A = this chain, B = another copy of it.
Amino acid sequence: MGKTILYSFWKSSSAWRVRIALNLKEIPYEIIPVSLVRDGGEQHEENFKKINPMEQVPALHIDEVTLVESLNIMHYLEETRPQKPIMPKDIIQRAKVREISEIIASGMQPYQNLSALKKIPKEQQKDWASYFITRGFNAVEKLLSANSGKYCVGDEITIADCCLVPQVFHAMVRFNVDLQRYPNILRIDQGLNEHPAFRVAHPDSQPDCPAKN
């Protein structure tokens, strides 16, 4: 088997989800950074289009295949490497994990990524993103108040947690959304951020993160 290679960008929340999952499962991987901003975006270069026809990160080369789309990749890791599980066994709990993950991946993140924001006038971007973040987190907070334990669903870390942490970061740091009205989201996020798998996956720890002065 060849090396596992993650095409990643330090700030991408979708790539970040996959970095957390790889770390949780202790799968060694090499990062090839793809800058979404340099020269109009390296994701649009001909060579990269062959790796991910959606022209975005992440893409994961593993087991001699290349996979795209972050939820898909995490479920593939779970199906091929069930040790150190990131999905519950219970069928209702599994659905609860997928619900939170899908709300974040389809109902929140698409509105905040570069390709959408590029098409919104600059002075409207914050309001636009805040609207969808608030709608999504209102729903996530309600689901967490029903199903969460130490983490999003019960007391074990799952794919939902891999989605939550990058979304909280972007809401706070990029869009200054006030999260005080989401006590469960904040509590779970704070706990997760202390976990080594999450710390190592953080944008600031990435090889392509610009040096801070």
Binding site for B on A (CB under 8 A): 52-55, 65, 67-72, 75-76, 79-80, 91-92, 94-95, 98-99, 102-103, 105-107, 109-111, 115-116, 119, 128, 131, 135-136, 138-139, 142-143
User: Which one of B52, B92, B105, B143 lies within 8 Å of A53 (CB-CB)?
Assistant: B143
User: Which one of B94, B102, B116 lies within 8 Å of A71 (CB-CB)?
Assistant: B102
Nearest B residue to A119, CB-CB: B128
Docked-complex contact A95 and B76, CB < 8 angstroms: yes
Known: A91-B79, A109-B106, A131-B119. A53 touches B142 (CB 8 A): yes
Docked-complex contact B103 and A69, CB < 8 angstroms: yes
Question: Interface SS of chain A: helix, strand, loop or mixed?
Answer: helix
- Interfacial chain B residues near A99, Cβ < 8 Å: 67-69, 72
Shortest beta-carbon distance from A143 to chain B in Å: 7
A-B contacts besides A107-B110, A111-B116, 4 pairs, CB < 8 Å: A52-B139, A65-B92, A71-B106, A76-B91
- Assembly CA distance A99 to B91 (angstroms): 22
- Assembly CA distance A111 to B95 (angstroms): 25
- Interfacial chain B residues near A75, Cβ < 8 Å: 94-95, 98
Nearest B residue to A146, CB-CB: B53
Query: Which 8 pairs show the lowest CB-CB distances between chains A and B?
Result: A53-B139, A72-B98, A69-B102, A110-B110, A53-B142, A54-B139, A106-B106, A76-B95
- Assembly CA distance A133 to B13 (angstroms): 22
Shortest beta-carbon distance from A41 to chain B in Å: 13
- Assembly CA distance A54 to B104 (angstroms): 11
- Interfacial chain B residues near A70, Cβ < 8 Å: 102
User: Which one of B71, B79, B111, B138 lies within 8 Å of A110 (CB-CB)?
Assistant: B111
Docked-complex contact A54 and B119, CB < 8 angstroms: no
